[in-house]
Amino acid sequence: MANADTLLGRNDTILYAAVGAEDAVMMSMEAGQYYGLNAVARRVWELLETPKRIAELREAICEEFEVDAQTCATDLDVFVGQLLAKDVVRVVTP
């Protein structure tokens, strides 16, 4: 189970492309899955260019988007759980 101190990194096999100014798409060739990203999800992916702790992601998203801390934490936890379940991101051991 991930918590605020969990260090996350991208799965390097995921293909990614920005679409327009805010959206993006990703594809997992391993899973044969295609994912559409909104502006917030795209920013999370961009932030994970280098491994980040979930707490760092929360802080950045709260600063950059108009969202209160509790909503941000809840929504980000759900999103990170989905990314981990689909092997789009992985827990990194420091």
pLDDT tens figures, 33-46: 999 999 999 999 99
pLDDT band at 49 (very low <50, low <70, confident <90, very high): very high
Tell me, yes or no, whether 93 lies in a domain: no
Its domain, for residue 41, covers 9-87
Tell me, yes or no, whether 66 lies in a domain: yes
Mean pLDDT (whole number) for 18-25: 92
Tell me, yes or no, whether 3 lies in a domain: no
Tell me, yes or no, whether 71 lies in a domain: yes
Tell me, yes or no, whether 51 lies in a domain: yes
Tell me, yes or no, whether 63 lies in a domain: yes
Question: How many domains does one find in the chain?
Answer: 1
What's the per-residue H, E or C state across 4-71?
CCCEEEECCCEEEEEECCCEEEEEECCCCEEEEECHHHHHHHHHCCCCEEHHHHHHHHHHHCCCCHHH
Tell me, yes or no, whether 75 lies in a domain: yes
Tell me, yes or no, whether 31 lies in a domain: yes
